[in-house]
Amino acid sequence: MQDFHHNVQVCSYSFPPQVFDRPLANPCIPTACITQLNSCCPPRLDDMAIPDEQTEVIICGGGPTGALLSALLGQMHVPNIVLEKEADITTDPRGIALDEDGIRILQSIGVYDRVYTEIGSCEFHWILTSPSD
């Protein structure tokens, strides 16, 4: 309970709950902290106030691969932090094909209902050319 209180206290200073030295499956993150946990920016704090942040798994890159891993680790209650250099989701043309394994893994994180409604596209106007030509 003392630990719980500590988390709430920390969060009031816009810092996410510490995950220091906790067992992997930690069900007792206080509800009050969830908003902070899900913030899309790192915490702002005085350097002197809080030591280095710590988590279990650091993921460098928040594209489909990194974000999917984060979602899967979250399902398994493994604390993780994704560091993404871009401010927002990249919108320039990238992957165009989603194969069966891709569909399956989206299903595994619970977004299967969005595959054939939002994610899948029946438009097909991509033009692929080799840059060396």
Q: What residues from 44 to 83 belong to the interface with another protein (CB under 8 A)?
A: 44, 52-71, 73-75, 77-83
CB 9 to another protein: min, Å? 17
Nearer Cβ to another protein (4/102): 102
Nearer Cβ to another protein (12/75): 75
Interacting residues of 67 by C-beta distance below 8 A, sequence separation 6+: 82
- Residue 3 · residue 17 · CB < 8 Å: no
CB 12 to another protein: min, Å? 17
Footprint (CB under 8 A) of another protein, residues 78-117? 78-91, 93-104, 106-107, 109-111, 114-116
Asked whether position 22 contacts another protein by CB under 8 A, the answer is no
Rounded CA-CA distance 37/43 in Å is: 9
CB 41 to another protein: min, Å? 6
- Residue 33 · residue 11 · CB < 8 Å: yes
Rounded CA-CA distance 5/85 in Å is: 33
CB 5 to another protein: min, Å? 17
- Residue 54 · residue 88 · CB < 8 Å: no
Q: How many CA atoms lie within 13 A of 69 on its CB side?
A: 14
Nearer Cβ to another protein (2/44): 44
Asked whether position 5 contacts another protein by CB under 8 A, the answer is no
